[in-house]
Amino acid sequence: MAVLPRYRTRAIRGSGRRSAGAVRRRRVRDAFDAQVRREWSRYSRSAWRVLARELRSRFLAYHLPNGPGWALELGPGPGRFTPAMLATGARVAAVDLSGPMLRSLGRRMADQPRAGLLRRVRGAGEHLPFRAGAFRAAVAYGNILGFSGRGGEQLLAELARVVRGGGVLVLDVASPVGSATEFLESAARQRFLLRILRDPAYYFLDGIVQSKERGHQPFAPPRMGFFEFDFYTARAAEGVLSASGFRVVDRMAVAPMVAFRDRLTTLARRDPVAWENLIRLEERVGRRPGVLETGHGFVIAAVRRSPKRRPPSSRGRLKRSG
């Protein structure tokens, strides 16, 4: 039986006055507690979403190391990418805010051949309950960085703490342009596009696509801001990763050619050869300069830099006489 790295329990619900981060995490947790089935089907309702899922899976499989050892999956939800992590031979600690999501993950993984290598832990990415250097790899898919809002640096600092030197971090990022495009596409499908475009500032579009490196959407349900959320340009994402102790080694836009184009991807999916060729083309185009923010977000692989060793202290040493 796989034994988790030594960890300490940290309660998600605190006593007394809640911090802004605790309130944000509670809102995220409550929302995902209520949509377990919807979350599982979110990437299978249309062909282009299936394409986005497969591109993320392939990027993950390319960068995750194979062999024994512990890997962290932060925000696994119902387990969309967990099988790919288990397939590497790693023992996986799946950490999620949502108890219902973790239970759904357990049910879905029960029949997997490597199910015994999975451990589920309810917790927050900003307060990971593991010792330093416990993991050789970490995955944070599902726009976990964006959902951390203004606590993004704290989240990355925790990931840097628990990933050992030379370890790999793979995460996806919500870009301003990609997120705004998806929002407008959804609005058109649900027939409230004109309402949004008549007053884009009210619905945060002006703020999301501003020229700054990092956009912030506050929690404001009447204006369709159902979460506090931060959007990163590619340069901003690489900057916060570098400041946290990671070195970026690969980046790729997710489906920059056909993101949000249902008909094109539906036609391609009818033919296995066409589908495979589309995936390969997307992987090539997704790494071209200038496209990172035009797809369905972008994915980044980074390596944890080894902490610099302090030089041995000369205090207490006798000086040699000449």
Contact (CB, 8 A) for 82 and 67: no
Strands 214-217 and 135-140: unpaired
Q: Is residue 8 part of a domain?
A: no
The span from the CA of 79 to the CA of 73, in Å, is 10
Q: Into how many domains does the chain fold? A: 1
Q: Is residue 313 part of a domain?
A: no
Q: Is residue 13 part of a domain?
A: no
CATH code (residue 176) = 3.40.50.150
Q: Is residue 49 part of a domain?
A: yes
Torsions phi, psi for 144 (to 5 deg) = -60, -40
Going by pLDDT thresholds of 50, 70 and 90, the confidence category of residue 319 is very low
- The order of strands in the sheet holding 70-74 is 118-122, 91-96, 70-74, 135-140, 163-173, 298-304, 246-253
Q: Is residue 41 part of a domain?
A: yes
Give the model's pLDDT for residue 165.
97
10-65 pLDDT per residue, tens: 434 443 457 889 999 999 999 888 888 888 877 777 899 999 999 999 999 999 99
Q: Is residue 320 part of a domain?
A: no
73-91 pLDDT per residue, tens: 999 999 999 999 999 999 9
* pLDDT value at 97 more than 60: yes
Q: Is residue 318 part of a domain?
A: no
Q: Is residue 186 part of a domain?
A: yes
Domain that holds residue 83: 20-304
pTM of the model: 0.88
139-153 pLDDT per residue, tens: 999 999 999 999 999
